[in-house]
Amino acid sequence: MSFSEAVALWWVVPAGLALLGYGLSLAGLSRAQRAEWVTARIVEVLPPAHGDSKRPGIPVTVAFQDPAGGAEFTLPNAGKHGDAVHQAWVGREVDVRYPPGRPHRFRIVLDASDEKHGRAGPNCTVFLLLLGVAIHATVARGYPYALIGFGGLVTYCTAFGQDIRQARARDALLASAVAVPGRVVAVTRDVYTDGEGGEVINHAPVVAFTTLDGTRVTALSLDGIPAPSRSLDRDLTIHYSPADPAVWTHDLAAERRGNETTVAVVVIAAVLGIAAVVTGAILL
């Protein structure tokens, strides 16, 4: 087999991995499906110290019961076990997974919809496969195939992406938002290196507010608060959803505009993707 022929068969590996992943998922043998899944409860919240990194999220301690032996475990997270928690309060329930018999290796999973069924890995592999197919078609067949390949990929991503659903879900939850006073209790600080070797400093305020039923919520604000580096001890008006305090904003009007923009961008991308596929098909 020549080198060019070998390159033409590059897709065999990702396609095989995807098929293997979906096969394991259907058989209930994927790593995620073999793990123990339990619902944990946050029992302690420690706001990040002023100047700490935002990467670990809000340090929390979770408590859960091992269904195998019935033992209770109370273990700290601090961003080292799974997903970082950005909105925390005592009593919040989160999904936790761990290898059978090894609860100390727990991982917090904030979005378990695909992971519980073992499809997260195969879905990612399929996306990479489609991206590779589009690139290969562009190089081997020319720009009409590029239009079809990348247009189809954009259409696929917009059709099965979560952006519109998440934006509409937030809008629905914030439609009955309640306003309460809040305060910036700390500001995290992270230093990154840009493409030219310079330093970029990122600040993220840590906001605390109390719901009407007395729940103390600590949340990490990744964007939206003006002049975040100078926001320590700033008083805010927080709008939160009574159904889920994790859905909150300090600027309700800006939140709605942002969600409308997200929906519009996704719709425009879908239209452009379909148009690219049609144009490429006509040019063949």
Over residues 129-146, the mean pLDDT reads: 79
**For residue 216, pLDDT beyond 90:** yes
Q: What is the pTM of this model?
A: 0.82
Q: What is the C-alpha separation between 280 and 58, in angstroms, rounded?
A: 48
Query: Any residues with CB less than 8 A from the CB of 127 and at least 6 apart, and which?
Result: 157
Q: What is the pLDDT of residue 91?
A: 95
List the domain boundaries for the chain. Answer: 37-108
Q: How far is residue 158's CA from residue 155's CA, in Å, rounded to a whole number? A: 5
> Which of 101-115, 205-219, 245-259 has the weakest average pLDDT?
101-115
Q: Is 192 exposed, middle or buried (0-12, 13-18, 19+ CB in 10 A)?
A: exposed
Mean pLDDT for 127-137 is 79
Quote the pLDDT of residue 151. Answer: 87
The model's confidence at residue 161, banded by pLDDT at 50, 70 and 90, is: confident
Token pair, residue 20, equals: 């293997």
CA–CA gap between residue 248 and residue 177 (Å, rounded): 8
Q: What are the DSSP E strand ranges found in the chain?
A: 36-45, 60-65, 72-76, 87-88, 93-98, 107-109, 178-193, 199-210, 216-220, 235-241, 244-249
Query: Over 90: is that where the pLDDT of 206 sits?
Result: yes
